[in-house]
């Protein structure tokens, strides 16, 4: 039984890591899309604000 618990814990850890990597990837894509939208609509000030590093990064 201990071996099964160890494998389940390893699987959960791997799944959590994959989820975190996916969320990070989506945030990066979302950030680029939002910046492009601001540039296309002529809102250069907001687009430039998105170029600056954020506290979340």
| Region of residue 42 (phi > 0: left; psi between -120 and 50: alpha; otherwise: beta) | left
pLDDT at 56 over 70: no
**Cβ atoms 48, 33 nearer than 8 A:** no
pLDDT tier at 1 (50, 70, 90 boundaries)? very low
3-state secondary structure of 42: coil
Residue pLDDT, tens place only, 12-53: 888 889 999 999 999 889 888 998 998 999 988 888 887 766
30 or 1, higher pLDDT = 30
Q: Domain spans of the chain? A: 24-57
For the whole model, what pTM was predicted? 0.53
């Amino acid at each position: 039984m201990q071996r099964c618990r160890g494998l389940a814990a390893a699987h959960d850890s791997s799944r959590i890591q994959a989820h975190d990597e996916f969320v990070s990837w989506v945030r990066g894509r979302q950030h680029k899309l939002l910046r492009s939208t601001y540039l296309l609509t002529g809102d250069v000030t907001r687009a430039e604000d998105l170029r600056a590093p954020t506290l979340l990064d």
